[in-house]
Amino acid sequence: MIFYSEDKGHYSHMVRLVLAEKDISCEIKEFDPFGKLPEDLATINPYNKLPVLMDREVTIYEPRIILEYLDERFPHPPLLPIYPNEKAECRLLIHRIEKDWLPLIDKMMSPKISQKEFDTNKKLLVSLVSGIVLVLKEKPFFMNDEFTLVDCYMTAILYRLPYLGVSVPNSKSFSSLKSYQEKLFKRPSFELSLTDSERDLKYSF
């Protein structure tokens, strides 16, 4: 198994978290998505972008499909619930993250973004972060008693907040978010998932 990974991309980070959670043996090749890409990338991904997972004769190039493939291919520990209704709820949460959160992160992480656009997206991101505080009081993880793929998404996003200039207030009203972040960042899989470039992200602002 070979994983073509962005060196500090949030989509690739989600996949590396799953690889670490499940202790999957995989060769990880890191690339700067705004630098020189793999020479054969266009032949294995028609969209010519990262991340890409190659597992023998199977090539997968959409982040969510990669995550679900790994969860089904290596079922222990499961990162999606067993029951269809609970699994659907997780998939709907992921859908909302992909629609509401990730477009903002995509733009803000781009070196081509203007300061005006960055500031506009930052305000929207702050609003989203504030909006999950009450939700996080209900369950140990994101609307679930167990760590799921939804938490892989949120780990990659929340870790990048300092780099994006978004700080979580040290107030009682944000204690549930602080506690959630601490839970995520203390998991052994989190430390194993980080690239050298990602370790520097929180110090870049």
Tokens of 109: 């992480």
Tens digit of pLDDT for each residue in 1-37?
A: 999 999 989 999 999 999 999 999 999 999 987 778 7
Strands (E), the chain: 2-6, 27-31, 52-55, 58-60
Tokens of 168: 């979580």
Question: What's the pLDDT at 205?
Answer: 33
Strands (E), 27-168: 27-31, 52-55, 58-60
Domains of the chain: 2-73 (3.40.30.10), 84-187 (1.20.1050.10)
pLDDT band at 202 (very low <50, low <70, confident <90, very high): low
In this structure, are residues 151 and 158 in contact, taking their beta carbons and an 8 Å threshold?
Answer: no
In this structure, are residues 154 and 135 in contact, taking their beta carbons and an 8 Å threshold?
Answer: no
Among the listed residues 165, 159, 168, 158, the one whose alpha carbon sits nearest the alpha carbon of residue 199: 159
Tens digit of pLDDT for each residue in 77-123?
A: 999 999 999 999 999 999 999 999 999 999 999 989 999 999 999 99
Determine if the peptide bond prior to 162 is cis (ω within 30°): no
| Spatial strand order in the sheet of 58-60 | 27-31, 2-6, 52-55, 58-60
Question: What's the pLDDT at 203?
Answer: 47
- pTM for the full predicted model: 0.93
